[in-house]
């Protein structure tokens, strides 16, 4: 492939821009949640909103079915095939909206909060009208590694979402602010993508010519649909067993840890799929890129999880408000899950990029069979003593098992020795473990301080220790990171 020699530089630049974009988007999301929860929404309202928000990622995936990913991965594009992919997406969106019209009110009635049903239906309409307008051009931009432009468009779109969340909440729309803000983001993103990569569908619908796209898309989307379902199955379990207010506290802990890990890791997974697709014919470069992205992901996530585990109550107080500090135990438990996820999160885009989505599907089948069952079982058995924390414990018990299956399949396919792989990545979480006593001492030494300065002391002390160890033991310093990005 003629563009492979330039891939390393493109990946570094793409990572830099995705990192900038994801960081700013994360800051905007965090700022919006701080304002909403400390000014406009009660914990009960936040818990009710979570019942609908948990379904949004599942709906996104159902309406696409991996067809956009197939556009990125495959090399045999024709206008007729791309047009067919678009119209298939439209048909899928219509099917999702029809199913929602029946299922969403039933789900809302089962949870005891009728507003959840209309929220899901309106979000489904967004998929049909707005998301399809951007799906194909955005996929083509990813294929061309135009991540700078995509990142800038996403930043602008998320500024619109931030304004929508706060603005609609201030106007008295309550939990609807999440849906209406998502509509604003989709409008801005679709307009931006069309401006930078204009594309209009033709009147071609030839399913046979796009059969390979559909097969690949179904394999990858089945994996993503299962992933979205089991990673959001904990919300309805907590809401049904422990109520909306308990769900608000649980979601605060989950967002603080696992949503943060998801946001950070998306920097690497988004670039990873495109990079692995280009390098799939060169095993040595593929292995090195896989290990490099895993290490880079750990460098960012490991210290964040360390500081969160040490100062969970202070972090929840600063971010969500004092009444959410009681979710600290759940947050600390989920930090272990976050560390495991940061190791395994690069593997699905690796397998998909190599052309083995069926292996990713096997992993998600294992996780789908295991985790929701554990959520229900742990909630029923330990709920009387642990409350919603029992579901966090279920995550800590079940997720490492599923992740071990995933990593084993990837290493086997690449013929990479497990011990060699662990030696290459273990130093970074090891540095975090060695820095933990310093962060813990800072936390104990500042006992009695207000939440924000105490949290700042943990970050400064633990951060200095972590990055000193990283430079001394792993030869990773801010200078080497800057050189890699350049």
The reported pTM is 0.79
Residue 4 has pLDDT above 50, yes or no: no
Alpha helices in 147-233 (DSSP H): 147-170, 177-196, 211-232
pLDDT at 198: 79
DSSP structural state of residue 271: H
Q: Map residue 210 onto helix, strand or coil.
A: coil
* Percent of the chain predicted with pLDDT > 90: 35
- Residue indicated by tokens 């009110």: 105
- Residue indicated by tokens 């014919």: 281
Distances from the Cα of 453 to the Cαs of 12, 301, 318, 441, 447, in angstroms?
35, 22, 10, 15, 11
Residues 347-371 have pLDDT tens digits of 888 887 887 777 878 888 888 989 9
Token pair, residue 464, equals 């200095």
DSSP structural state of residue 65: T
pLDDT at 216: 63
**Dist. CA 467–CA 293, nearest whole Å:** 18
Contact 352, 73 (CB under 8 A): yes
pLDDT bin (cut points 50, 70, 90) of residue 150 is confident
| Ranges of each domain in the chain | 1-232, 243-422
At a CB cut-off of 8 Å and minimum separation 6, what does 346 contact? 265, 268, 269, 272, 290, 293, 294, 297
Q: Which of 71-85, 262-276, 412-426 has the highest mean pLDDT?
A: 412-426
**Dist. CA 157–CA 176, nearest whole Å:** 18
Residues 173-194 have pLDDT tens digits of 999 999 999 989 888 988 898 8
Residue 222 has pLDDT above 60, yes or no: yes
Contact 153, 213 (CB under 8 A): no
């Amino acid at each position: 492939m003629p563009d492979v020699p330039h891939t390393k530089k493109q990946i570094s630049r793409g990572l830099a821009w995705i990192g900038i974009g994801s960081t700013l988007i994360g800051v905007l999301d965090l700022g919006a949640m701080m304002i909403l929860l400390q000014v406009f929404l009660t914990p009960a309202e936040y818990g009710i909103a979570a019942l609908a928000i948990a379904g949004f990622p599942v709906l996104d995936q159902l309406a696409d079915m991996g067809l956009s990913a197939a556009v990125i991965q495959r090399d045999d594009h024709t206008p007729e095939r791309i047009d067919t992919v678009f119209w298939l997406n439209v048909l899928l969106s219509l099917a999702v909206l029809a199913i929602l019209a029946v299922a969403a009110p039933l789900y809302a009635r089962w949870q005891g909060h009728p507003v959840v049903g209309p929220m899901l239906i309106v979000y489904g309409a967004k998929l049909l009208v707005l998301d399809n307008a951007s799906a194909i051009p955005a996929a083509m931009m990813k294929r061309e590694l135009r991540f700078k432009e995509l990142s800038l468009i996403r930043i602008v779109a998320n500024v619109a979402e931030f304004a929508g969340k706060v603005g609609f909440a201030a106007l008295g729309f309550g939990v609807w602010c999440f849906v209406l803000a998502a509509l604003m983001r989709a409008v801005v993103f679709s307009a931006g993508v069309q401006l930078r990569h204009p594309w209009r569908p033709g009147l071609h619908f030839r399913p046979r010519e796009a059969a390979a796209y559909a097969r690949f898309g179904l394999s990858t989307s089945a994996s993503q649909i299962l992933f979205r379902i089991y990673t959001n199955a904990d919300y309805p379990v907590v809401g049904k067993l422990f109520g909306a207010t308990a769900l608000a506290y649980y979601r605060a802990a989950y967002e603080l840890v696992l949503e943060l890990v998801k946001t950070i890791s998306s920097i690497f997974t988004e670039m990873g799929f495109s990079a692995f697709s280009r390098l799939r014919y060169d095993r040595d470069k593929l292995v090195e890129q896989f290990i490099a992205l895993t290490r880079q992901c750990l460098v960012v996530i490991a210290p964040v999880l360390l500081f969160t585990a040490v100062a969970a109550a202070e972090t929840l107080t600063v971010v969500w408000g004092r009444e959410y500090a009681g979710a600290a135990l759940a947050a600390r438990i989920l930090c272990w899950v976050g560390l495991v996820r940061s190791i395994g999160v690069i593997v699905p885009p690796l397998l998909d990029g190599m052309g083995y989505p069926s292996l990713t599907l096997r992993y998600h089948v294992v996780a789908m069979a295991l985790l929701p069952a554990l959520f229900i079982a742990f909630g029923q058995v330990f709920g009387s003593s642990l409350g919603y924390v029992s579901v966090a414990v279920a995550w800590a018990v079940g997720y490492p098992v599923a992740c071990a299956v995933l990593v084993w399949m990837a290493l086997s396919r690449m013929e990479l020795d497990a011990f060699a792989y662990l030696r290459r990545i273990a130093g970074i979480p090891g540095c975090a473990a060695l820095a933990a006593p310093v962060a813990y001492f800072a936390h104990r030494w500042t006992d009695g301080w207000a939440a924000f300065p105490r949290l700042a002391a943990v970050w400064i002390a633990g951060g200095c220790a972590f990055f000193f160890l990283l430079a001394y033991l792993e030869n990773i310093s801010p200078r080497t990171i800057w050189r890699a990005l350049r």
